[in-house]
Amino acid sequence: QVQLVQSGAEVKKPGASVKVSCKASGYTFTSYYMHWVRQAPGQGLEWMGIINPSGGSTSYAQKFQGRVTMTRDTSTSTVYMELSSLRSEDTAVYYCARDLPVDAAAGSWFDPWGQGTLVTVSS
């Protein structure tokens, strides 16, 4: 079955960076776009960006431009999201979520999602 398994919780100090991993299984890794979405405590869902695991191309939300980097390792079917210059407002659960195939004609929806990784930023 299709599964996304994320790395464990992290505690970071302000100004530091965090790198979260998302390992995919049960499908052809390079055939589906992957997104990152975050959720601050008690808040809604916020899209961060997308990566094409085939060629590695990315697109980031304007809010995170310059602070976020999404990469992939095709040998391990893993995507990574690194967020730098962390501040307290970055405390959130970070999710990876699979989109449609890269050759889909139109549309976009996220299924499945990883289990989430809690990143806590605190001095």
Partner 1 sequence: DIQMTQSPSSLSASVGDRVTITCRASQSISSYLNWYQQKPGKAPKLLIYAASSLQSGVPSRFSGSGSGTDFTLTISSLQPEDFATYYCQQSYSTPCTFGQGTRLEIK
Which residues would be at the binding site for partner 1 (CB under 8 A)?
Answer: 35, 44-47, 59, 61-62, 95, 97, 107-116
117 and 6 Cβ atoms separated by less than 8 Å: yes
Alpha-carbon span 71 to 118, nearest angstrom: 19
Q: How far is the CB of 21 from partner 1 (least distance, A)?
A: 16
Give the three-class secondary structure for 20.
strand
Q: Please give the DSSP secondary-structure letter assigned to residue 118.
A: E
Q: How far is the CB of 50 from partner 1 (least distance, A)?
A: 8
Q: How far is the CB of 44 from partner 1 (least distance, A)?
A: 5
Q: Which is nearer to partner 1, 17 or 59 (CB)?
A: 59
